[in-house]
Amino acid sequence: MLIVRSNKINIEALFKLVILLGFAFFFSMIIATGKALLYVNPRIIPYVKFGIAALVVIALFYIPDVLKPQRKANIGIYLFFLIPLVSAFVIQAKPLDTKSIALGDVNLSQQAGTGINVNNASNAAAADTDSTWQAQDTSIPLTQEQPDDDVYSSQLKLDGDTIVMDDNNFVKWLQELYDNKQKYQGKKIQVIGFVLKGKELSKNEFYPARLMMACCTADLQPVGLLCRYKNAPELKQDSWVKVEGTIKIIDYKGEQTAIIIADNVSNAQKPEYDYVYPY
C-alpha cells in the first residue's frame, strides 16, 4: 500500500516505532503475569528480557525520524507485523493439553531413556516397544548432558520411604527410575498427572502424565511412567489424578522396566505450573 502525499510526520517511522514498542510491551506483560511460561522454558526468559531491551533501544532511534516529513509512505509491508501483534493481545494464551497436540499413534519406545514416545502414524512402525513414553524428537535430551552415575540419586530425596514426583523433580525422577530402577523396587510412589491412554495399552493401564517442554510449546511432549490400576477404565482421558502406589520392575516386552502398581487413584487439582522441564 503506497501513500503519496505530503505528511508532517513520517508514517513509516511511526509504524516502526509502534511495532517495536508494541512487541516490547507484549513480552513485558507476559513476563510480568507469568504467562511467558506458557510459551517458553523458564531458561529462555532472560533472553526474552534482553530482546525487550533491544526492541526499546532500536525504537528510540526511530523517534527523531517520526518528526521528519515524508512524501511517500509504503505502509503495506508493516501489516505483516501489525496483524500478529494485534493477535497476540486479542488471543488469550492458555495451557495446551493432549487435544491440542498432534499425537498420532501411541508407541512405547526406549530410544533415549525415559518418558513417553508418541510418534506419528508414518513412523510408528519403526519405533521399538517399551513401557515408557519418549519425546518424538529423540535428539532432544531429557537433560542437557548425560549425567554421571548417581547424579540424580544425590539430588533426589525420598519422603520417608516414598518417591514424591512434583513439578521440580518430575523429569529427574523419570530419568532416575530408568537409570537405577532396581534400587527402587518396592518403593512407594506418589505422582500427580493427567490421565493419558493409548491404543497399545491394556484396559487396566494408563499414564499419569505431564507435558514436558524442552524449549518452547512447539516441542511439548507428554512424559510419565506406565501405571496399572484395576479401575483404569473408569478414569477419564485428560482428567487430573493423584496416583499412590508401588514401584515394580517387570519384564515388559523384553525390557526390564519400572512401572507403578497403583493402590489408590483419586481426583487431583491441576498443578500451578502446567509444564515440567528436563533441566
Q: Is residue 97 part of a domain?
A: no
Q: Over the stretch 153-182, which tens digit does the pLDDT of each residue have?
A: 556 888 888 999 999 999 999 999 999 999
Instruction: Among 90, 125, 152, identify where a domain stops.
Output: 90
Residue by residue, DSSP assigns 25-46 as HHHHHHHHHTGGGGTB-GGGHH
Instruction: Among 68, 90, 112, identify where a domain stops.
Output: 90
Both 41 and 116 in a single domain? no
Phi, psi of 84 (to 5 degrees): -65, -30
> Between these two residues, 118 and 9, which has the higher pLDDT value?
9
Helix, strand and coil content of the chain, in percent to the nearest 5, comes to 35, 25, 40
Q: Is residue 95 part of a domain?
A: no
Both 271 and 150 in a single domain? yes
Q: Over the stretch 212-258, which tens digit does the pLDDT of each residue have?
A: 999 999 899 999 999 999 999 999 999 999 999 999 999 887 888 99
Least confident of 43-52, 101-110, 162-171, 196-205: 101-110
Q: Over the stretch 84-143, which tens digit does the pLDDT of each residue have?
A: 999 999 998 888 877 776 554 443 333 333 445 433 322 332 333 344 444 333 233 343
Both 127 and 62 in a single domain? no
Domain of 25 in residue numbering reads as: 3-90
Three cell numbers at 44?
A: 529462555
